[in-house]
Structure 1
């Protein structure tokens, strides 16, 4: 049975909270598209932390490609992480934000790779969920080292392995002072382009009839941790919906049992739970998470 969605109620909520963009794709068709407050179909949005949703997908693809393993320690790549509590930190911990690194590294405060790697732990790995950007930068440092023999950066790998095959156009990326691009933030996409990414994820890692990431591999992005069952590898998990969230009211919602993806760009006063309450026409049980693998 296909889940019913109340798009009118969801749009009404968006309009009360500074609507910028509201675009819905059901199946292959655009079911609704609205812009306001100076925004349009061709104006890119800063995704802010919505950018995190790219890196879990890139990580499982890199695992399939033999570049890394989600459960390998950071210390496999960097000697400074082979002793003390840091020795226990895995790449999965970084992506699930359970590495023990404290809050920080958001917005314009994202550190370059060397500074991120030097960050001390605040808590024991895997015991605490702490939102922030530094763990993504540590993951970026690992991925950059893995890709160096191929003369690729993490962002070039993401583009060549995921975004280009899925037909997702990034308008621009932020750069840090050292010329690298950050992982936890920094992507600018139009609402339609982010929706294309959402449809690719909704469709189990396929686009245009082509498998880009294996469905079973992609499912690993939606496994929560013991510290926070509602956060996977860069994705929030709630009520049968997976979603990416960015500051400034950016959201990408995927409702698999309604064959729907939604991009929501609004003022920062909106709340995901309030939006989802209006969108979901009937209550659903929390998403069933696949086992760790």
Structure 2
């Protein structure tokens, strides 16, 4: 009884927001209890600190529990971080919700949504472009539009030459993601940010996300979203759980399967994580994984075979090297069974993490 009264007193002093914040967090556990050694995680952090210039944050989730989290000063757990193109995976998720609600089909032609913005004589390839082609970066463009110099981004996109048949030519294309955002806004009457808030952000306990907009007031879609590291981890965990969250199916499993599977080929190198195929604004990785990623090293890596999620923010010019540290140091560390408790190794890991917060 005394402990309950003590808890209620603390809650009254801190206010109801404290309870909500606690409830919205992913559960925590020791690494060993989830089959990962603290020593291996320490090795990963020290290697990343040494070889990735520069790391900002890292969170590892195993079996749905956070087993390690680290921030390099001046970053912190509560500080939102720019996601750059990792934003694209959230835009894709908005499309998934809209499809599930019957507001559009991925086989709808893009021009259907922009009758007033189309060129006077649209090409056959532009007429053939579908929502699916926007999702898979197969719009048929040869060059990416320099849209930021345009007065109206959607109109400029539709006026841009489409020399290839849509669906046949992979070309990474941030304006294509903007068009997905614009389409969601057309069919829902809300920005992607507002549309996702009750469907994704609030159920996951993602508080006050910020998403930059175009001059037309449309969420940029391809970048511009700011979230905390744990928010990225929650998003990855939702996809790992095939759209299920707290017993509720937020996104249809069929959409998750499509979005994260190889929809198009984008290369043939066995050594590159950018040549393993592309889904609906998600990249396939080596080792059976998939990810959302953004410029300078923002990653949401989902490893279904290991039942794990890795969230990373950084500012690096070598994103492949950043991923390689994950594959080299973390991938071998996942065990099938819980490990014996190792307080000494865990203390060493915690010391390493504490030093990151004060080393810069």
Bin the TM-score by the shorter chain. 0.7 to 0.9
Query: How is 1:256-267 mapped onto 2 (pairs within 5 angstroms)?
Result: 256-267=304-315
* Equivalent position of 1:232 in the other structure: 279
User: CA separation of 1:212/1:102 partners in 2, compared to 1, >3 Å: closer, same or farther?
Assistant: same
Question: Which residue pairs with 2:47 in the alignment?
Answer: 13
Residue pair 2:297, 2:316 contacting (<8 A) in 1 also: yes
Structure exhibiting the larger radius of gyration computed from Cα positions:
2
Q: 1:132 to 1:37 in 2, by over 3 A?
A: farther
Instruction: Find the residue that maps to 1:72 and give its secondary structure.
Output: coil
Contact 2:191 2:219 in 1 (8 A): no
Aligned residue in 1 for 2:21: none
Question: Residue deviations 1:170-212, cap 9 Å, x none?
Answer: 5322233333320100001110111111111111112122110
1:114 and 2:155 equivalent? yes
Residue pair 1:3, 1:258 contacting (<8 A) in 2 also: no
Partner of 1:175: 213
Kindly tell me: are residues 100 and 217 of structure 1, through their superposed partners in 2, closer, same or farther at Cα, counting changes over 3 Å?
same
Which residue in 1 is equivalent to 2:331? 280
Partners of 1:173 and 1:40 in 2: CA distance: 20
Larger helix fraction of residues: 2
Q: Structure 1 residue 185 and structure 2 residue 223: aligned?
A: yes
Unaligned segments of structure 2, at least 5 residues: 1-33, 267-275, 334-360
CA distance in 1 between counterparts of 2:198 and 2:154 reads 22
CA-based RMSD? 2.7
1:157 aligns with 2:207: no
Q: Give CA-to-partner distance per residue, 1:243-281, whole Å, 9 cap, x none.
A: 111112111111122221111112213433423431322
| Inter-partner Cα distance in structure 2 for 1:180 and 1:78 | 14
Given that 1:112 and 1:180 are in contact with CA atoms closer than 8 Å, whether structure 2 keeps it comes out as no
Size of the aligned set, in residue pairs, is 278
**By how many angstroms is 1:128 displaced?**
1.4
- The reply on whether 1:132 has 2:173 as its aligned counterpart is yes
SS in structure 2 at match of 1:13: helix
From 233, 243, 256, give the equivalent of 1:195: 233
Between 224-233 and 38-47, the greater mean CA deviation after superposition: 224-233
59-68 or 175-184, larger mean C-alpha shift: 175-184
Q: Which residue of 1 aligns with 2:25?
A: none
Native 8 Å contact 2:170 2:264 kept in 1: no
Counterpart in the other structure of 1:291: none
Match of 1:62 in 2: 98
Which TM-score applies when normalising by structure 1? 0.85
Whole-Å separation in 1 of the counterparts to 2:314 and 2:126: 38
**Cα drift, residue 3 of structure 1:** 9.8
